[in-house]
Structure 1
Amino acid sequence: MLSHDELEVMASSYVLLALEPEEREAFQEHLNNCDICLRRVAEMDAVAANLALAVQEREPSPQLRTQILAQVRTERTGAHIAPVKRRMPSAGRLRKLARPAALAAATGILLLLIAGLALRMLNIQESLESSQRRASRGYEAITIMSRADRWWKLEATAAAPDAAGTLAYSTELSEASIVIFNLPSAAKGKAYHAWAVKSGVSTNIGNLWPLSDDLWRLIPVDLEKLDAITITLEDGREASEQVGTIVATVTLTSD
C-alpha cells in the first residue's frame, strides 16, 4: 500500500491523466478522505486550465516536452489535460501582463516538471526524499501562480535581448515566483541570480534553478515593499553583491 507521501507526489500525474487505471482508482479513493491531496489536485486543475492559453505566445520548451512525454509513453498511457474553468486575475497597482499567456506557459512547464518527478519516482524508483524536495518547490510555485493576482513581463537588456519571462505575485501569500526563458547558457563557473531592489540597494534572493532550457526561482518576499527585481549573471552560485551583468529586470513601482 502506498504511503500518503507517495500518493501526494502522484497528484500531478493524476491531473495529467498519466496514471495506470489501478493507480488512478487508488488515488481517487484516497482523495475521498484526504483534504490535503484534494486541495493539491484542485490547485493543479486550475493551473492546467491555463495551458491552452500558452499556445499563442509560447509553449513549454520542446526539450522539456519531449523528455516528459517520452517517459509517459514508455510506461503510461497517453496523457492529456482536461479543460477546467480558469480564474481571471484582479487588477492591481503594479504592472500587469497584456495577456495571461506567459503565465500559462510558466505554470505549464512547472506542472510538467512535477509530473516528470512523479513518473521518475514511480518508474525508476528515485529516492522519495529527493523527489519530494524538488517537487515541493514546484508545488509552492504552482500554488503561488494559481493564486496570483499581479504579474509582469520581464524586460530584457542588451546583454540577453531574447530573454523573456513571467513574474507572478500572490498578495494573499506575499510570495512570488519567476520563470525566465531564452537566457544564454551560463559559462562554466557562472550562474544567474535574482535580486530584490529597494532604494538602490540590491539584496540577493538566490541563484536561479534550472528547468530544462529555462530557469525559475521562488521569491518569498513582499513585492509591495520593493522597487524592482533584477536578474544578473555572476561568478559562482554564491554572490553577496550585485557586480555581474544585468540581463533582465522587472520594474515594480509605477512610473
Structure 2
Amino acid sequence: MLSHDELEVMASSYVLLALEPEEREAFQEHLNNCDICLRRVAEMDAVAANLALAVQEREPSPQLRTQILAQVRTERTGAHVAPVKRRMPSAGRLRKLARPAALAAATGILLLLIAGLALRMLNIQESLESSQRRASRGYEAITIMSRADRWWKLEATAAAPDAAGTLAYSTELSEASIVIFNLPSAAQGKAYHAWAVKNGVSTNIGNLWPLSDDLWRLIPVDLEKLDAITITLEDGREASEQVGTIVATVTLTSD
C-alpha cells in the first residue's frame, strides 16, 4: 500500500503520461479520494495544455519555418535522452524512480512542444529570437513542474477575490514557476508584477506573462530564503518599488 506522499510524487508523471498502466490505474483510484492530488493534477494539466495556446496562432513564412525547424533539430541532436526501462517499481523505490521517469518523458514531450510553440508564437510583430525565448520559457516551466517537490496555493485578497493559482518549486533547481487564474484584466498602462518578500522588504521579480487567459512567471530564486511571494497591480511594466494593490500572496511555510 503506497503512502500519500509516494502517490503525490507521481502527480507530475501522471500529467506527462510517464506512468506504467498499473501505476496509472493506482493513481487514478487515489484521485477519486484525494482532493489535494486532484487539484494539483488539474493545475499542472492546465499549465501543460495552455502553454501551447499562449498566443494566437499565425502562419509563419516559409523562411522562418525553415530557420525554426533547423534550430529544433539542432536542440534535439544535443539533448539525447537514454531510453527508460519500463517496469513497475516497488513501493520502497517509487520516490526515487518517479522523478527520473517524469523528467525523461518531459524531455521528449518538451522537444516537440518547443517546435509547436515556436511555430504558433510567430506573428507579424515577433522576431525569431523572441519566439525562441518564449518557447524556452515554456520548456523551463514544465521542467520545473516535473521536478517540483514543494507546492503552495495562492491566497487571493479582496482586490481580486476570484484569483487562484499555484506555486511549484524545485529544490534541486532552486527555481519556481507560478500560474495564476481569474485575475481581473489589467487596465491600459497597468501590469501585474511578482515580488519576493524577505523581512518586510519586497524585490521585484518582474511582470507576469500571459498564458491563454491566465498569467504566469518563472521565479529563478531560492524560495527557502524568502518569506513570501506577492502579486501586485502596478503602473507600467517596470516597477522598482511595490506601491500597487496586492491581489494575491503565497506565504512560504513548510506545509
Change (3 A) 1:19 1:78: farther
For 1:18, the equivalent position in structure 2 comes to 18
- The CA deviation at 1:131 is 2.3
- For structure 2, the residue ranges without an aligned partner over 5 or more in a row are none
Give the paired residue count.
Answer: 255
- In structure 1, stretches of 5+ residues that fail to align are none
Name the counterpart of 2:60. Answer: 60
Contact 1:156 1:249 in 2 (8 A): yes
**Equivalent residue of 2:95, what SS?**
coil
Deviates more, 1:28-37 or 1:233-242: 28-37
Change (3 A) 1:204 1:10: same
Structure 1 residues 64 and 42: alpha-carbon distance in aligned structure 2, compared to 1, 3 A threshold: farther
| TM superposition shift of 1:117 | 2.0
Is the contact made by 1:178 and 1:219 (CA closer than 8 Å) also made in structure 2? yes
Question: Alpha-carbon deviation of 1:197?
Answer: 0.4
Inter-partner Cα distance in structure 2 for 1:100 and 1:59: 36
Alpha-carbon spacing, 1:18–1:232, altered in 2? closer, same or farther (3 Å)? same
CA contact (8 A) 1:49 1:82 kept: no
CA RMSD, aligned part only? 15.2
- What does the per-residue CA deviation read over 1:81-132, in whole Å, with 9 as the maximum and x for residues that have no partner? 9999999999999999999999999999999985652443799998543321
Change (3 A) 1:175 1:71: closer
- List aligned pairs for 1:27-176, cutoff 5 A: 116-120=116-120, 128-176=128-176
Identity over aligned pairs, percent: 99
2: CA distance, partners of 1:245 / 1:228: 16
For 1:7 and 1:64, how far apart are their aligned partners in 2? 44
| Cα deviations by residue, 1:121-170 (Å, 9 ceiling, x for unpaired) | 79999854332111001111111111000011100011000000110000
Residues 208 and 216 in structure 2, CA contact (< 8 A), matched pair in contact too: yes
Contact 1:196-1:205 at 8 Å conserved across structures: yes
**Cα gap change, 1:70 to 1:227, in 2 (>3 Å):** same
Q: C-alpha distance in 1, partners of 2:24/2:18? A: 9
Structure 2 Cα separation of the partners of residues 33 and 129 of structure 1: 46
CA 1:31–1:188 in structure 2 vs 1: closer, same or farther (change >3 Å)?
closer
Distance 1:124 1:32 in 2: 46
Cross-structure match for 1:209: 209
**C-alpha distance in structure 1 between counterparts of 2:51 and 2:97, whole Å:** 16
Q: Measure the CA separation in 2 of the matches of 1:86 and 1:6.
A: 18
In 1, Cα distance between equivalents of 2:204 and 2:64? 28
- Of 143-152 and 35-44, more deviation after overlay is shown by 35-44
Deviations 1:56-90 (A, max 9, x none): 99999999999999999999999999999999999
